[in-house]
Each structure stands twice: as C-alpha cells, then as structure tokens.
Amino acid sequence: MTKILFICHGNICRSPMAEFIFNDICKKRGITDAFAESAATSREEIGNDVYPPAKAKLREKGIPFERRYARQAAPGDYSRYSLFVCMDRYNVKNLTRIFGGDPEGKIRLLSDFTRSPGSEISDPWYSGDFETAFRDILEGCEGLAAYVAFGPHQEDRC
C-alpha cells in the first residue's frame, strides 16, 4: 500500500485539494493500493476546514470532498507514509526540519510528477487563483497516480 501525505503551508488549500483530487483519480482508475491524506508544515490553520474557495473549485470540477480538519505534520508521520508530496520548496525545507532529515528520500515536490519538475504550485491563498492551482495540482496528481500504478518513467501509461 502506498500511503501519500500531501504537504502545504496551512493544510487548507493546496494539500487538501491534492488529497481529494488524487484519491478521486485513484478511484476512477481502479488504483486500490494507494491513498492520500494531507497536512501542513505550520500550525496557523490547525483545526480549520478546507478554505471555502478551494471547496468551491473542487465542487465546480466534480471532485468529491468531505469536511476535514487541518493538522501539522509530525515527526512520527515519517514512518507511517511512503511518500511526502510538497507543493513548494519552502514546504520541503520545513518538512525536512520537522522530520530531522529525509534519510529514505521520501520527500518530493508535486511537480516532480509532471513535465515541469522542480516547479512550484502557487499558493492560491495569496494569489486568489484557484483555477491555476487546481490545474497544476491535477497535472501533478495524474502523474503521481501513474507513478504509483506503473513505477518511474511510466507516467504516460495512465
């Protein structure tokens, strides 16, 4: 079972969008050996639900979601998840600090599963551009689903 934890700053926009998008893709493609959850690197939004404009974008795109409560990633998560997929380099830096390193190389950027590896998912909390965030997250989740289903370098098979 591949257990993925999507990571963003507050866990109310990008990472929960990725969680719901990825799980929806897996369900539709019959990928039963993977699931995703999400968390933050900060404590700012702990306990809060998904930001309303993010929910509106998911609803508009037909992605099912449910109420959830933002949480911060914790050191113990490192042994519980197979992969940590971050939205930007700031998340990678902070997550690595929370874990005290990344000895197994589990921390990646979502864009690593796209045709633009190394790029970052813009934070719609600041930009207000939930459409671009959705599109970029969708592309990354599609590539990640292919990676999970078929392994590295097989992204085009899905």
What is the per-residue pLDDT for 151? 78
What is the per-residue pLDDT for 153? 54
pLDDT tier at 6 (50, 70, 90 boundaries)?
Answer: very high
Nearest residue to 8 (alpha-carbon basis) of 68, 81, 75, 95? 95
Q: In what order do the strands lie in the sheet with 107-109?
A: 34-40, 2-8, 83-86, 107-109
Both structure tokens of 114: 């796209």
Share of the chain above pLDDT 90, in %: 94
Q: Which of 24, 77, 123, 136 is catalytic?
A: 123
What is the per-residue pLDDT for 129? 98
Task: Assess whether 14 carries a catalytic annotation.
Answer: yes
Task: Assess whether 123 carries a catalytic annotation.
Answer: yes
Segment 24-32 shows an average pLDDT of: 96
Nearest residue to 91 (alpha-carbon basis) of 25, 13, 2? 13
Task: Assess whether 8 carries a catalytic annotation.
Answer: yes
CATH number of 2-157: 3.30.70.100, 3.60.15.10, 3.30.390.30, 3.40.50.2300?
3.40.50.2300
Q: Which of 13, 14, 26, 77 is catalytic?
A: 14
> For the chain, which residues make up each domain, given as ranges?
2-157
Q: Which of 8, 13, 26, 86 is catalytic?
A: 8
pLDDT tier at 156 (50, 70, 90 boundaries)?
Answer: very low
Distance of CA 138 to the CA centre of its chain: 10
